[in-house]
């Protein structure tokens, strides 16, 4: 369950500091679990104009990292398609401190992202690919010439592409979040990937 304190801080920061984007719709996706939002948090989010959207996902599936994000992002994208030019996917640990103008993608762009904070399981650009990333690139048919360097924004390490799943912007009609969900659910339970968990 996402942090209700984080959800409140994010919603309040958007309304206070996002400038021309401060009145955009905010959707908060909540997995249907035993633990629900407190009445106080729910009332405050509703007062901020946040739509609370139940996410129907199996508890066992939800226990695996990122399954909830992939599922909710795809749902948000399908809801946004035909209704808006851009969809920003933000984790509840995000705070907006100025107008996020970069969310308005240029005409030739379909995805905006932030690199991960830390290297963690990332693949350092100057080192050989490990078995996990080799398998992932192979499964997703990523050609070598499409692998570019990016820098983690906290520890400053140059890595191969590894996007922060908590800060993404897309054009809903491109269906990138739905492709993310579909690919994720096809891959994560494959026996060849199980050994990495």
pLDDT tens-digit map of 78-125 = 999 999 999 999 999 999 999 999 999 999 999 999 999 999 999 999
Torsion over CA: 46, 49, 53, 59 (sign): negative
What pLDDT, in 10s, does the model give residues 5-33?
999 999 999 999 999 999 999 999 988 87
CB 50, CB 24: distance < 8 Å: no
> How many whole angstroms separate alpha carbon 78 and alpha carbon 38?
28
Q: What is the value of pTM for the model shown?
A: 0.91
What are the boundaries of each domain within the chain? 4-116+162-190, 120-161
Beta bridge partners of 151: 158
Q: Contact at 8 Å (CB) between 193 and 187?
A: yes
Q: Residue 134: which residues within 8 A CB-CB, separation 6 or more?
A: none
Domain with residues 4-116+162-190, CATH architecture: Alpha-Beta Complex (3.90)
């Amino acid at each position: 369950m996402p942090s209700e304190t984080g959800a409140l801080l994010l919603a309040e920061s958007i309304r206070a500091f996002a400038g021309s984007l401060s009145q955009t719709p905010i959707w908060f996706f909540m997995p249907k679990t035993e633990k629900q939002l407190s009445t106080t948090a729910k009332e405050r989010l509703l007062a901020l104009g946040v739509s609370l959207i139940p996410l129907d996902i199996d508890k066992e599936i939800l226990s695996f990292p990122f399954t909830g994000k992939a599922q909710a992002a795809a749902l948000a994208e399908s809801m946004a398609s035909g209704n808006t030019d851009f969809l920003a996917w933000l984790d509840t640990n995000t705070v907006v401190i100025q107008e996020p103008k970069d969310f308005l993608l240029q005409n030739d762009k379909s995805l905006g992202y932030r690199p991960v904070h830390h290297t963690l399981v990332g693949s350092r650009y100057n080192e050989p690919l490990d078995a996990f990333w080799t398998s992932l690139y192979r499964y997703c048919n990523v050609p070598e010439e499409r692998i570019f360097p990016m820098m983690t924004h906290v520890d400053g390490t140059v890595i191969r592409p590894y996007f922060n799943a908590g800060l993404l912007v897309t054009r809903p009609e491109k269906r990138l979040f739905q492709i993310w969900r579909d690919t994720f659910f096809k891959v994560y339970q494959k026996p060849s990937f199980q050994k990495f968990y």
